[in-house]
Amino acid sequence: MDSIVIEPLSREAFAPFGQVIAADDMAHHYPINSGRTERYHDLARVELGGVHARPLISIFRGQPCALPLTLRLVERHPLGSQAFFPLAPRPWLSIVAPDRQGTPGRPRAFLVPAGTGVNIAMNTWHGVLTPLEAPSDFLVVDRGGEGNNLEEHLFDAPFLVVAS
C-alpha cells in the first residue's frame, strides 16, 4: 500500500486546495467595538454555484480516526466550497488531492493544529472529516440549494496515511 506522510499545515502548502482559517498574525485583522474586539477579517472565500444556491452553517460531529489511516475514498463538491472549523481544542487531519482530468491525483494529508480551520475550494477532492484524538464538533459552512453537489471517488488501491 502506498503511504502518504502527514505534512504540517501552512497557508502556502494548502493554497492549491483552499484557504487556512486562523486568527494569527498572517491574517488581516483590526480592532472593532471600541477596541474590545480584534476582527480577523475575510479568512476564507465562500463559493456558491448552481441554481438557488445559499450558504449553510452546520455542526458536524466526527468520530476520531487512528493512525495509520487507510484512505479509500475522497469526495468533492462541484457547486460550492466547504469550510471546517473545529469547536474543540484538538488537532485534526485535512486530506486533499489535486484534480487530474476529473479524477483525484495523489492525496496529501495536512495536520491541522487546534484552533485552526480550512476552507476547501469548490470542486476540490478531499477526504472525509478526520478528527484524531476524540469525538469532535466542527462548524461547517457549505452550500445548499438545487443540484448534485457531491461526487465520490474510490481509489483502486487505498493509501496509508502515516505520521512523519
Q: Which stretches of the chain are DSSP H helices?
A: 11-14
CA-CA distances (angstroms) from residue 105 to 61, 89, 95, 155? 28, 31, 12, 10
Residue 149 pLDDT more than 90?
yes
Q: What is the mean pLDDT of residues 87-101?
A: 97
pLDDT digit string (tens) for 36-85?
Answer: 999 999 999 999 999 999 999 999 999 999 999 999 999 999 999 999 99
CB 124 within 8 A of CB 44: no
User: Cα separation of 82 and 163, whole Å?
Assistant: 25
pLDDT digit string (tens) for 127-139?
Answer: 999 999 999 999 9
User: Cα separation of 27 and 48, whole Å?
Assistant: 23
**Domains of the chain, each with CATH number or no CATH:** 2-162 (2.60.120.480)
pLDDT digit string (tens) for 98-111?
Answer: 999 999 999 999 99
